[in-house]
Amino acid sequence: MLKRRSCVVERGRFMRERRWESHSFIRFDEVRGLAGRLKSRGIDVKDFRREAACYIEEFRVGRLDEIERLGAWEIDEITLVEITDSWEGDFFILAGKHHDLYRQYPRMEGYLSLCHPWRIPDHLTPKMHQPESMFWIGFRDTHGFIRVRVIPNEIITPGERRGETEQLTWMTERASAFSEAIQALDLPLFIEWEKGALTLSTEEGSAAVSLSWPDAFGPCQFEYIVSDRYELLVPAARFVSKVGIKSAVIRTFLSGFPREILDEFHQLQPESKMLYRGYIHAPMDDLPQVVQSMIPHGRALLNLCEFGTRQVLPTAEESYAVVGVIGSESGFKVEVRLNRAPLPEDEMEAWMKALTGMPMVYSPLALY
């Protein structure tokens, strides 16, 4: 049974996380062994027979009807990600074509965004952030938005004390990157410092600004939101022409549309690769079958348990952990996501191995 909603499901979308992943693939019977190990530590592990949200990532399809290979389970979200490699075209035309098609369906609660990488100018010599950053223009039923994100080299989550001695450098560098982006956009946005925190504002009464994707040093992302979606096409094209990375990988995200409309959007970029992202409802017992239905391309994730780390580390810093299992054609991997590190950095790897019974490596989530 297929349901469609306008909300995009993305792991870690609204907060930075510290993530660890098993060094090697394991068998599904070893996943059961992990569940038993965690139960023995007093952690409440999900019943393998009960349905839960199973997140689907990077499921490569040649045609949209191939998504029905997951039809044995309830598909609760369809988000199509189109990827075009080595793109060097006119961004105004590309975004404009998508906007023109989008406005043919004004009563849809669909979501559309186009993502183009941009580069922090070399003269800023970023040390705390990656030179390559991300930019989006997006359309919703009631508004349009432009989103700019910078990528810190290191994830220091809110509440952690690491990096405090370089806090001013972190924040100044981020403010400089945002300033370059605002100049390229030529929008009425202003950077402000309030009680040592970075904020953005606008004097345009019909627009709004939001800040998100925070780490210990404040927001890594800002959005400029207007009711007139068409108003943003020129600033977006100007931004890409000034600071956009040439021969770019373009990503288009489409959510909340029925399949026939997704097909129309795909015809705007017929050479793009199509990936399904979203979630279904499935029990952990079905994870091998879910993976088999997506072979050769696709990953499926189910969360095994969630717990406060003081349950197993009573004298350590309080944090919150989620243990998940990721299935793919190669086998299964274990991931542990934390809102902060409960132990000093040099003790984390050994504790992860003690918790899961297997070697773990630090592995932050991908940018998308």
In whole numbers, what is the pLDDT of the chain averaged over residues?
Answer: 91
Q: What is the dihedral of CA 140, 142, 146, 147, to 10 degrees?
A: -70
**Among candidate residues 248, 321, 295, 235, the one with its CA nearest the CA of residue 89:** 248
Q: What angle do CA 14, 19, 25 make, to 5 degrees?
A: 130
Q: Each residue of 161-207: pLDDT tens digit?
A: 888 888 889 999 999 999 999 999 999 999 988 777 888 999 888 89
Instruction: Report the residue count for the chain.
Output: 368
Sign for the CA dihedral angle at 314, 316, 318, 320 comes to: negative
Peptide bond into 364 cis (omega under 30): no
Q: Are 232 and 226 in contact (CB under 8 A)?
A: yes
Q: Are 302 and 287 in contact (CB under 8 A)?
A: yes
Is residue 13's pLDDT more than 60?
no
Domain coordinates in residue numbering, the chain: 12-77+278-368, 89-246
pTM equals: 0.89
Query: Binning pLDDT at 50, 70 and 90, where does residue 368 land?
Result: low
Spatial contact of 266 and 82, defined as CB atoms under 8 Å apart: yes
Average pLDDT for 128-148: 95
Residue 173 to residue 62: CA distance in whole angstroms = 42
pLDDT above 90 covers what percent of the chain?
78
> In this predicted model, what pLDDT tens digit does every residue of 317-359 receive, in sequence order?
899 999 999 999 999 999 999 998 999 989 999 999 999 999 9
Query: Using CB atoms within 10 A of its CB, is residue 130 exposed (0-12), middle (13-18) or buried (19+)?
Result: middle
> 3-state class of 354 per DSSP?
helix
- Which residues are paired to 94 by β-bridges? none
Which residues lie closer than 8 Å to 16 by C-beta, 6 or more apart?
155, 157, 158, 213, 214, 215, 220
Q: What is the pLDDT of residue 16?
A: 67
Q: Which pair of tokens denotes residue 300?
A: 């499926």
The candidate with the shortest Cα–Cα distance to 210, out of 220, 197, 223, 221, is: 223
At 23-50, the pLDDT tens digits run: 999 999 999 999 999 999 999 999 999 9
Q: Which structure tokens are listed for 70? A: 């997951």
What is the C-alpha to C-alpha distance for residues 356 and 37, in angstroms, rounded to an integer? 7
6 pLDDT more than 80? no
Across 103-112, average pLDDT: 85
pLDDT in tens, 215-266: 888 899 999 999 999 999 999 999 999 999 999 999 999 999 988 999 999 9
Give me the mean pLDDT over the 2-22 stretch: 55
